[in-house]
Amino acid sequence: MNAWKPVIGLEIHAELLTESKMFSACPVVDSVEAPPNSAVDPVSLGLPGTLPVINARAVEFGLMVGLALNCEIPPLNQFARKSYFYPDLPKGYQISQYDRPLAINGWLDIDVTPESGEPYSKRIRIRRAHLEEDTGKLTHVGGASLVDYNRAGVPLLEIVTEPDINSAEEAESFGRKLRAILQYLGVNNGDMSKGVLRMEPNISVMHSSDTAFRTRTEVKNLNSIRNVFRAIKAEVERQIKLYESGDTVKQATLGWDDVKQRVVIQRYKERADEYRYFPEPDLPVLEISREQVEEVRAHLPELPDRKRERFEREFGLTAYDASVLVMEQAIAHYYEGVLAEGANPKSAANWILGGLFSVMNANDVPREEIEHTRISARQFAALVKLVDEGKLNKGAATTVLNSMWTEGGDPAQIMEAQGLAQVSDTGAISAVVEQALVANDAMVQRYLNGEEKLFGALVGACMKALAGKGDPKVVNDLLRRALDARRG
C-alpha cells in the first residue's frame, strides 16, 4: 500500500455572485429556488443575432480571486468558443477562456492534519483561473428531459490546480481554504449542495518506482467537501487494487454514489475531447491594466490567513484555535460578533471551540449554520462574561449553554431560573467544607497520613455537597486550609 502515492489535481467551478449574467444584463437568480426559465434573455438563450457584452463585475471578482491565490494577471485576456453539443448549452458552444486566461501561476498554502503523523504545511500550485459561463440544467423525469436555462450564462470562474495534492486530507484542506477565501471575498457563498461551488478531483496513483504520472480519472457531482474527501479515498483504493491485480486504469469520468459510498463510472474517455477552441469573434481582447490590478489588490478584504495571524497576535490565541475560527467565514463572523458584545477574546474562543462546537456536533449542525441557531452573539457573550466574572462555573455554564441551545434565552435568566449561580461566598463554602470533612473522616485521616492524591476526591465531595455550583478555586483554597489546620 505504501508503494502507492495518490496524485490529485482539482478543478473548481465557482459561480460568481454578480447581479447579472456573464454576457448580458439578464438577472442571476437562485437556480434551485427560482421557477424554471424565469431568468432568461436572448443572449443567455443564444438566439441568433444577439451579441455578448463582458460583465465588468465578473472580471473584477475573477481578479480578486486570482490575486488572493497569488496569481499573475496577464495584461491581455481573451475569450474563446468551446464547441460541444448538449441540450443545456443552446448556442452549441460555451464562451470560456483558453490560451489567454485571467490569472496564471498562483499558489495556496494549506495546513494539513493527516490521519496519522504530524500536522504539516504545504504549497499547492494554481495553474490558472479563467472566466466562463455556466450551462443550463437538465432534469430527467420519467422518459422526458426538462431544461431550465436560468443558470445558462451565469458567470463562472474555473480554477485549476497543478497535480500537487497527494492525499484526500490535502484535498480537503485545500477545498476548505479555497472555499473560505471565496466567501471572504464575497464572490461565492460556498454552497456546494446547490452546485454554486463545484470541486472535481482528477485522480491517479503513482508507484514508488514510477517516473511519470499514470492515467487519471475525474470525479464529478460532489456536493460537499466531505464527499470530495470520501470519493478520493475510494477512487485511490480502486486504482491501487486494479494495478495490484495486474489490470490497468482507464481514463474515465466518474460520479459519486452517496448512498453506496462508492464511485460509479459514467463514461470512458476513449480519446481527448476535441472542443475546437477558437477566439470568440464577438468579443474584444480584454486588456487588464496594471492600475486596475493594483486597485483590486488594494481593496482585497482581510483573508483567512491574515485574520488568523491577527487573532493570534491580538488575542493570544494558539495557531490551531485561530485557524479553526477563521476557516469557516460564518464562525469567524460569529466570533467577532461575540467580541463586539464585550466578551474576553480568549474565553470566547474557548467557549466556541469547546462548548458551542460540541453542542453543534451533538446536534449534527454544520458550522456554517452557526448564525441560524438560537444563540445570538450577544447572548453567547453574556454567557462568557458570567463565567469570567465567576458567577457560573464550567459545569453549570455547560448546562446553561445546553438550555440556550434547545430553548433559547438569556443566560443570566436561565442561571437564576435553574439555580445554577456559582457559590463563591467563602462563609457558605467554609461551612460546607467542614461538613464534608466530618462526613468523610476516614478519607481525611488517610490524606493526613500521606495519601496526597485523595485531595481530588475530597474536592469532589465538597463540590457534590455544593450541588456542583461551588467556585472550584475557592473550594480548593478553603479545603486546603481546613486540611492544613487539621495537621495541627
Interacting residue ranges for Mg ion, rule: CB under 5 A: 158
Beta bridge partners, 252, equal: 217, 268
Q: Which of 4, 9, 40, 343 binds ligand ADP (CB under 6 A)?
A: 9
- Are 100 and 77 a contacting pair, CB within 8 Å? yes
Angle of helix 441-448 relative to helix 472-487, nearest 10 degrees, comes to: 70
What's the one-letter identity of residue 260? Answer: K
Q: Name the segment binding ligand ADP (CB under 6 A); options: 3-11, 228-236, 261-269, 480-488.
A: 3-11
Q: Count other C-beta atoms under 10 Å from residue 403's C-beta.
A: 18
* Interaction between residue 161 and ligand ADP (CB under 6 A): yes
55 binds, among ligand ADP, Mg ion, none (CB under 5 to 8 A by kind): none
160 binds, among Mg ion, ligand ADP, none (CB under 5 to 8 A by kind): ligand ADP
- Residue number, 10 or 343, with CB nearest to ligand ADP: 10
Q: Which residue has the cell 474517455?
A: 269
Nearest to 486 by CA among 445, 425, 456, 436: 445
- Residue number, 202 or 373, with CB nearest to ligand ADP: 202
CA distance 375 to 393: 19
- Are 60 and 296 a contacting pair, CB within 8 Å? yes
* Interaction between residue 204 and ligand ADP (CB under 6 A): yes
* Interaction between residue 213 and ligand ADP (CB under 6 A): yes
7 binds, among Mg ion, ligand ADP, none (CB under 5 to 8 A by kind): ligand ADP
* Interaction between residue 222 and ligand ADP (CB under 6 A): no
Q: Which of 29, 45, 104, 160 binds ligand ADP (CB under 6 A)?
A: 160
Q: Which three cell numbers stand for residue 308?
A: 488568523
**Minimum distance of ligand ADP from residue 411's CB (angstroms):** 49
Distance of CA 250 to the CA centre of its chain: 32
Q: Which three cell numbers stand for residue 430?
A: 467554609
CA distance 133 to 24: 11
* Interaction between residue 12 and ligand ADP (CB under 6 A): no
CA distance 175 to 108: 11
- Distance spanning both ends of the chain, measured CA to CA: 67
**Minimum distance of ligand ADP from residue 65's CB (angstroms):** 16
**Minimum distance of ligand ADP from residue 290's CB (angstroms):** 28
Q: Which of 4, 8, 222, 397 binds ligand ADP (CB under 6 A)?
A: 8
Q: Which of 41, 60, 88, 162 binds ligand ADP (CB under 6 A)?
A: 162
- Are 287 and 76 a contacting pair, CB within 8 Å? yes
CA distance 2 to 237: 12
Q: Which of 52, 153, 163, 190 binds ligand ADP (CB under 6 A)?
A: 163
* Interaction between residue 203 and ligand ADP (CB under 6 A): yes
354 backbone φψ class: left, alpha, beta (φ>0; ψ -120 to 50):
alpha
* Interaction between residue 202 and ligand ADP (CB under 6 A): yes
**Minimum distance of Mg ion from residue 25's CB (angstroms):** 24
158 binds, among ligand ADP, Mg ion, none (CB under 5 to 8 A by kind): Mg ion
Q: Name the segment binding ligand ADP (CB under 6 A); options: 4-12, 44-52, 290-298, 367-375.
A: 4-12
* Interaction between residue 216 and ligand ADP (CB under 6 A): yes
* Interaction between residue 69 and ligand ADP (CB under 6 A): no
Angle of helix 319-327 relative to helix 304-315, nearest 10 degrees, comes to: 140
DSSP for residue 35? P
Q: Which of 11, 237, 305, 368 binds ligand ADP (CB under 6 A)?
A: 11
**How many residues at the interface with ligand ADP, by CB under 6 A?**
14
**Minimum distance of Mg ion from residue 150's CB (angstroms):** 20
Q: Which three cell numbers stand for residue 488?
A: 495541627
Point out the residue whose Cβ comes nearest to ligand ADP.
Answer: 9
202 binds, among ligand ADP, Mg ion, none (CB under 5 to 8 A by kind): ligand ADP
Residues 288-347 that bind ligand ADP (CB under 6 A): none
Q: Which residue has the cell 502507492?
A: 4
DSSP for residue 34? S
Point out the residue whose Cβ comes nearest to Mg ion.
Answer: 158
Q: Which three cell numbers stand for residue 153?
A: 450564462
What's the one-letter identity of residue 119? Answer: P
**Which runs of consecutive H residues, i.e. helices, occur in 15-138?**
56-68
**Minimum distance of ligand ADP from residue 205's CB (angstroms):** 8
Q: How would you classify the pairing of strands 155-161 and 120-133?
A: antiparallel
- Return residues touching ligand ADP (CB under 6 A): 7-11, 160-163, 202-204, 213, 216
